Amino acid sequence: MLRPCLRYSPRAVRSPRCPQYSYRNSLQSPPVNQKSFLPLPSPPSIRGLQTPSTDSQDRIPLRKQLKQDAKSVKARRRERREQEEASRQKWELTVGVEIHAQLNTETKLFSRASTSPSELPNTNVALFDLAFPGSQPEFQAATLLPALRAAIALNCEIQPVSRFDRKHYFYQDQPAGYQITQYYEPFARNGYIDLYGYDGIAPEDGDQVRIGIKQIQLEQDTAKSQELPPSTQLLDFNRVSHPLIEIITMPQIHTPATAAAFVRKVQSILQSCNAVTTGMELGGLRADINVSIRQRGDDSGSHQYGGIGGLGQRTEIKNLSSFKAVEDAIIAEKNRQISVLESGGVIEGETRGWTIGSTETRKLRGKEGEVDYRYMPDPDIPPLLIGQELVAELSRTLPTAPDALLNMLLSPEYGLPIEDAKPLVELEDGARLEYYQYVVDILRELQQDLDPKARASLGRVAGNWVLHELGALLTKMDLPWDAERVTAQSLAAIIDNLQRKQITGATAKQVLGMLFDGDRRPVAQLLEDENLILRPLSREEYMALAEAAIEQNPQMAEQIRRKNQLGKLGWFVGQMMRTGEKGRVEAQKAEAILRELILGS
């Protein structure tokens, strides 16, 4: 089955269609098609539109009822906000996040088998991946590179010596009976990322919040299992031992929105340094969330994690597969814990699950069902020694971080507004941004002769065309991004012609549409062939058009003159555009002539 997967964008630009992809860690969860990464408030429940009204006394006019309903919805929202705020004042939420991300590597972690996901099931497996008796691991040093890029991008300290451990539990998707991970000595520690307002953090967190990363470890993925009812499980070992990193944060997040923003930002950082294959929407990333609450100011809690003490008992929500799920699950779990504590209960340390679209987390297993993983150093795998030179070289060649890119786009050099800069950075793993920068470069070259003021607006204008004009065409046709469809040279030429008033805005859009639909002629020739170059009308021609328009509606002209209803000038401009030769009437000039004729100024 194919279906479109939407990428994050305020204008919902569509990205390549993608095959369905299900993902399972140690727990089952259905594949999720996430419509949007934006954390949306759940729709308010609107009831009462169809209130049964048998009694004539109750009969009220529809208009009035609609008004009342809207009022009560507002009131309920306000009430809920107030409740939330009251409970927020009383209870402090603490969240820690664990993110698993599939590394972008050629081979598996401990064999030379390919990681290509598209092959036939059970074809990309080596003896060790299947845990054949007598087989041994062969660590693939190249898999370390994306892991290191990720760790550096997340500001971690790379450990010169790290080791691999075995984590034991029985599950059919894990042929060895254990997962090889880095429990005692991970390869990266003590990182952080900064989240800003534009990352979507909660208002309570202010302009900026720093989330510490406790450690990052390398580990194996499991096989993919697929249920075949009634009683068969199909196993595809192609995914087994695909290299993963697990990113573990400090418990330093205190709002659901910030937790979602954190996961979103980690994904964008991992994608920007080419560390991962796919994002959350394709199952390349998934999160486990630890949630605890305590009364504000009360740090007598007996629980501690990562050196932070005084916390309440935490529960873990496993295997969240979208940003919205992260936020919703935390809200639900926080509310559950508050209501348990407020009714005199005790929070149990347990593992919970979350189903998309639900309003409550559900218990998966309690403490008595807790697995003792019996971590043991793997006796076959030598310690991982990472040289400083390698780390230095990777740091040097790391692509620019998304925050730095944003700052660049917001700076006077490009002068973009944040709502344009963000999608540019995030769309198509930076491909759109690359295209945009190319367009701007060409435009700068073309417009060297123009005055500084015109040139200063160039970045903003180009942004508009790349994101909105071109974006709208893609959305309309439901097509993936393709930098070659309308080349950067062509788009720059269109914008240049427009800026120089060689063509009108309408013509520019028309030309863009023609190129988009496959016209391969150079822009200059196309304008020539199609006779689209603006041949300015003479003053006399404008006069004639304006007079004809006024003649059609002298009353309106009169109103403008007497009541100074300037807004009505637009109607006459429209008339002139319609009656004049296509692509030749410039709105500004038309209006100037009209003012002159009607107002005498």
Partner 1 sequence: MSLLLEAERYVANQSSHLALNAFITHSGRWLGQAKDADLRRKQGKTKSRLDGRLIAFKDNICTRDLPTTCASKSLEAFRSPFNATVVQQLEDAGAIIAGKTNLDEFGMGSHSVHSRFGPVKNARCSDDLSHLSAGGSSGGSAVAVATDQCYLAIGTDTGGSVRLPAAYTGTVGFKPSYGRLSRWGVVAYANSLDTVGILAKETSTVRDAFAVLNQHDPRDPTSLSPPSRSRIASKLELPQLSSRLESAPLRIGIPLEYNVSELAPSVRRAWYRSLEYLRRQGHTIHPVSLPMTKSALSAYYVLAPAEASSNLAKYDGVRYGTHPEGPNSEDESESYLYARTRGEGFGPEVKRRIMLGAFSLSAQAIDNYFIQAQRIRRLVRHDFDAVFRAEHPLTSNASRIEESTTKAGVDVLICPTAPSPPPSISDLMNASAAISPLDAYVSDVFTVPASLAGLPAISVPVSGKGNVEHHADNDLAGIQVVGQYGDDDLVLNVGELLEGCAI
- Residues binding partner 1 (CB under 8 A): 127, 130-139, 166, 168, 170-172, 175-178, 231, 235, 372, 374-376, 379-382
Which residues have CB under 8 Å from 212's CB, separation 6+? 190, 191, 192, 249, 250, 252, 306
CB of 299 to partner 1, least distance (A): 26
Tell me whether residue 374 or residue 561 sits nearer to partner 1 (CB atom).
Answer: 374
Tell me whether residue 130 or residue 587 sits nearer to partner 1 (CB atom).
Answer: 130
CB of 372 to partner 1, least distance (A): 5
- The count of other CB atoms within 10 Å of the CB of residue 541 is 15
Tell me whether residue 66 or residue 127 sits nearer to partner 1 (CB atom).
Answer: 127
Report the C-alpha gap between 320 and 326 in whole angstroms.
6
- The count of other CB atoms within 10 Å of the CB of residue 530 is 15
CA distances 398 to 403, 468, 548, Å, are: 14, 30, 64
Tell me whether residue 226 or residue 457 sits nearer to partner 1 (CB atom).
Answer: 226
CB of 376 to partner 1, least distance (A): 5
Tell me whether residue 170 or residue 297 sits nearer to partner 1 (CB atom).
Answer: 170
Determine how β-strand 351-353 pairs with β-strand 315-320.
parallel
CB of 170 to partner 1, least distance (A): 5
Tell me whether residue 83 or residue 172 sits nearer to partner 1 (CB atom).
Answer: 172
The alpha carbon of 9 is separated from its chain's Cα centroid by a whole number of angstroms, namely: 7
In the beta sheet, which residues pair with residue 95?
253, 291
* Token reading at 230: 């009634």
Tell me whether residue 136 or residue 226 sits nearer to partner 1 (CB atom).
Answer: 136
- Is the CB of residue 188 less than 8 Å from the CB of residue 415? no
Tell me whether residue 129 or residue 403 sits nearer to partner 1 (CB atom).
Answer: 129
The alpha carbon of 252 is separated from its chain's Cα centroid by a whole number of angstroms, namely: 22
CB of 131 to partner 1, least distance (A): 5
Residue in 436, 426, 76, 439 with CA at minimum distance from that of residue 264: 426
Q: In sequence order, what E strands does 242-331 have?
A: 243-249, 285-295, 301-305, 308-310, 315-320
Sequence letter at residue 342: E
Report the C-alpha gap between 125 and 176 in whole angstroms.
14
CB of 130 to partner 1, least distance (A): 7
Tell me whether residue 19 or residue 382 sits nearer to partner 1 (CB atom).
Answer: 382
CB of 139 to partner 1, least distance (A): 7
CB of 377 to partner 1, least distance (A): 9
CB of 133 to partner 1, least distance (A): 4
Tell me whether residue 176 or residue 427 sits nearer to partner 1 (CB atom).
Answer: 176
Helix (H, G, I), strand (E, B) or coil at 74: helix
| Number of residues written out for the chain | 601
- Is the CB of residue 140 less than 8 Å from the CB of residue 108? yes
Which residues have CB under 8 Å from 327's CB, separation 6+? 39, 256, 257, 259, 260
The alpha carbon of 156 is separated from its chain's Cα centroid by a whole number of angstroms, namely: 23
Residue in 31, 37, 539, 601 with CA at minimum distance from that of residue 266: 37
- Is the CB of residue 264 less than 8 Å from the CB of residue 193? no
CB of 363 to partner 1, least distance (A): 17
